[in-house]
Amino acid sequence: MSKRRGAIAALTVLALAATLVAALPAGADVATDSSALRNAVTLAGIRGHQAAFQAIADANGGTRLAGTAGYDESADYVFDRLVAAGYSPVRQQFEFPFFEELAPPVLDRVSPDPVAFTEGTDFLTQQYSGSGDVTQEVVPTNDIIIPPDPVAGTSNSGCEASDFPAAVAGNIALIQRGTCTFHDKALNAQTAGAAGVIIFNEGQPGRTDVIGGTLGSPDFTIPVVDTTFALGADTYGRITSGETVVMHMVTSTVSETRTTENIIADTASGRGDRTVVVGAHLDSVAAGPGINDNGSGSATILEIAEQFTDLGIQPRNKVRFAWWGAEEEGLLGSQFYVSQLSKRDIKNIAVNLNFDMLGSPNFVRFVYDGDGSDTPVKGPTGSANVEDVFLDYFASQGLQTEPTAFDGRSDYGPFIAVGIPAGGLFSGAEGHKTPEQVAIYGGTADEQYDPCYHAACDTFAGTGAGGGATPPGLGLVSLDQLSDGTAHAVFSFAMTTSAVPGTDKSSAKAANTATSLDYWGPKARK
């Protein structure tokens, strides 16, 4: 799609649109003309920001993981661009549990019958494991149940200090999943003097594969891995039959508390009691630079924020652009932001628009299912109206969409948890494209929507060239189309005279209140 940036004609059209924009009805805002903003928000501009994120990752070990220099420089880039665009951005800092694996883990059975187990298939390092290189005997805890007992129910292995025999000290504790948290099991083992911990899956249907679990916090100085039920059951069977099983386990990790930040910027004008929070997470996973996940969403809302000031848009409702930190660690940045809001602050947020992955190389145009008509969970009151804005926009462009669920996997989660209406767009992650979707969107059937999801190949080049057998450039088609939908929705909610749920939230006397960022407390810094 061909577009021009910053044209005088666009200013004229936008001014006209601002005077004619209609209030959102209970359904979609079909009267809003967002064309001037959409024309100003170009694919080239978005790709320029993505290229900057790629360069930052290249200079910092190939990642923009929260708590690392790659993330800090990404935050600086966004902050500086916002300042240059005329905003007064705020850095909202928060502490979070940081974890990174520095080298592939090792789990080998030394004796009897030596075997090297396979990372990802047989075992994985638990998140927040400590580091260590241990070759010791494996000692089971009490309360291991093999085979799993459907009558007795879940295993209680390792949930109590008394589950650990004295022989655990200096050796590797073998623990079965069940009842209490991985954190409690592993901490009990560490307290009992274990040199390492193996937690194996419980064995019931759905609990047989390698777990890939988290310990929840950086409280551990010893290596902790989890395994398949088969590996754990075999080890336990050997020991109970009289064999002495010796394992070699190695983990190399950084697990500690670090500080990171959200970047927040408000428009200079607009009703503070109807604030539109437009968010995207800025961090990547450790494995790669995250140029689609989520450099695509971050770059898109940055380009929209810049064009708001370039075009001189005076929104009726305050727009708060937010780049969340540590999303990949569990939505921690958006959770922290929402946790700092008072009841009045929450009421003053009209809607949260979330954009997490917009340029998947094997994409589908997913819209969050605000009314829950096609998925199990509906959003708070008003979310159906948000969905309708997207659906009507894409219908006006002759583009089909599909619903996606509020499954809690992105930064809308903390907002809907406190009753704030939400919605957004998503181009797909590790799910596989169906033949029916290929007929609509193109691409490759039975391949991931993003073949480089959470991988090293989620790069600037990869997002432009496609992935696997996907035709080159399809991700750019997605980014172009979904960024237009993003711009339309942001402009629609910025300019509406109706509250999102369809009823007024407060009187005009409340206009421009709750506009300050200083309630975020002493850790906020400009």
Return phi, psi of residue 212, to 5°.
70, 45
Residue 512 has pLDDT above 50, yes or no: no
- For residue 432, being part of any structural domain is answered with yes
DSSP code, position 293: T
Strands 246-266 and 132-140: antiparallel
List b or e across 114-123, with b for residues whose CB sees 16 or more CB atoms inside 10 angstroms: eeebebeebb
Instruction: Note whether 469 and 326 are same-domain residues.
Output: yes
Of 257, 284, 301, the residue that ends a domain is 257
Domain count, the chain: 2
Number of C-alpha atoms within 13 angstroms, CB side, residue 402?
15
Instruction: Note whether 109 and 33 are same-domain residues.
Output: no
Instruction: Note whether 342 and 377 are same-domain residues.
Output: yes
DSSP code, position 120: T
Of 239, 257, 275, the residue that ends a domain is 257
Indicate which residues carry an active-site annotation: 327
| Cβ-based neighbour number of residue 49 at 10 Å | 23
Residue 318 has pLDDT above 50, yes or no: yes
Cβ–Cβ under 8 Å, residues 414 and 49: no
pLDDT (0 to 100) of residue 297: 98
Separation between Cα atoms, residue 447 and residue 171, nearest integer Å: 44
- For residue 92, being part of any structural domain is answered with no
Residue 141 Cα distances to 153, 154, 188, 420, angstroms: 17, 15, 11, 46
Cis status, amide bond into 147, omega within 30 of 0: yes
Q: Where are the alpha helices (DSSP H) in 379-495?
A: 383-396, 413-417, 435-441, 460-465, 474-495
Instruction: List the structure tokens of 461.
Output: 């080049």
- For residue 4, being part of any structural domain is answered with no
pLDDT (0 to 100) of residue 502: 58
- For residue 377, being part of any structural domain is answered with yes
| Cβ-based neighbour number of residue 408 at 10 Å | 12
Separation between Cα atoms, residue 447 and residue 274, nearest integer Å: 41
Look up the domain containing 416 and give its range: 9-87+267-505+520-525
Angle (nearest 5°) at CA 49 between 409 and 424:
30
Instruction: Note whether 298 and 395 are same-domain residues.
Output: yes
Q: Name 373's Cβ contacts closer than 8 Å, sequence gap at least 6.
A: 403
Q: Name 133's Cβ contacts closer than 8 Å, sequence gap at least 6.
A: 223, 249, 250
Instruction: Note whether 201 and 313 are same-domain residues.
Output: no
Instruction: Note whether 394 and 442 are same-domain residues.
Output: yes
Q: Which of 77-81, 90-94, 147-151, 392-396 is least confident?
A: 147-151
Residue 135 has pLDDT above 90, yes or no: yes
Instruction: Note whether 370 and 493 are same-domain residues.
Output: yes
- For residue 272, being part of any structural domain is answered with yes
**Shortest CA distance to 482 belongs to which of 403, 425, 428?**
425
- CATH code: domain of residue 228: 3.50.30.30
Separation between Cα atoms, residue 110 and residue 116, nearest integer Å: 8
Identity of the highest mean pLDDT range in 319-333, 462-476, 493-507: 319-333
Strand partners, 251: 132
pLDDT (0 to 100) of residue 154: 84
Residue 440 has pLDDT above 80, yes or no: yes
Instruction: List the structure tokens of 481.
Output: 């189309």
**What pTM, to 2 d.p., does this model score?**
0.82
Instruction: Note whether 66 and 122 are same-domain residues.
Output: no
pLDDT (0 to 100) of residue 116: 98
pLDDT (0 to 100) of residue 498: 85
- For residue 515, being part of any structural domain is answered with no
Residue 43 has pLDDT above 90, yes or no: yes
Instruction: Note whether 356 and 398 are same-domain residues.
Output: yes
Separation between Cα atoms, residue 421 and residue 351, nearest integer Å: 5
Separation between Cα atoms, residue 415 and residue 341, nearest integer Å: 11
- Using a pLDDT cut of 90, give the percent of the chain over it: 83
> How high does pLDDT run on average in the chain?
88
| Cβ-based neighbour number of residue 66 at 10 Å | 30
Instruction: Note whether 175 and 312 are same-domain residues.
Output: no
Instruction: Note whether 252 and 290 are same-domain residues.
Output: no
Instruction: Note whether 271 and 409 are same-domain residues.
Output: yes
- Using a pLDDT cut of 70, give the percent of the chain over it: 87
pLDDT (0 to 100) of residue 516: 32
- CATH code: domain of residue 437: 3.40.630.10
Instruction: Write out pLDDT tens, residues 210-263.
Output: 999 999 999 999 999 999 999 999 999 999 999 999 999 999 999 999 999 999
Dihedral class, residue 361 (left if φ above 0, else alpha if ψ from -120 to 50, else beta): alpha
Q: Provide the pLDDT confidence category of residue 500 given band limits of 50, 70 and 90.
A: confident
Strand partners, 266: 320
Q: Provide the pLDDT confidence category of residue 32 given band limits of 50, 70 and 90.
A: confident
Q: Provide the pLDDT confidence category of residue 148 given band limits of 50, 70 and 90.
A: confident
Residue 35 has pLDDT above 60, yes or no: yes
Of 257, 288, 318, the residue that ends a domain is 257
Q: Provide the pLDDT confidence category of residue 27 given band limits of 50, 70 and 90.
A: very low
Residue 174 has pLDDT above 80, yes or no: yes
Question: Region 424-451: what's the mean pLDDT?
Answer: 96
Cβ–Cβ under 8 Å, residues 210 and 228: yes
- For residue 48, being part of any structural domain is answered with yes
Identity of the highest mean pLDDT range in 201-215, 478-492, 510-524: 478-492
For residue 496, the SS3 value is: coil
Spell out the SS3 assignment of 263-287. Answer: EEEECCCCEEEEEEEEEEECCECCC
Residue 26 has pLDDT above 80, yes or no: no
Q: Which of 63-77, 79-93, 466-480 is least confident?
A: 466-480
List b or e across 475-490, with b for residues whose CB sees 16 or more CB atoms inside 10 angstroms: bbbbbbbbbbbbbbbb
- For residue 512, being part of any structural domain is answered with no
Residue 18 has pLDDT above 60, yes or no: no
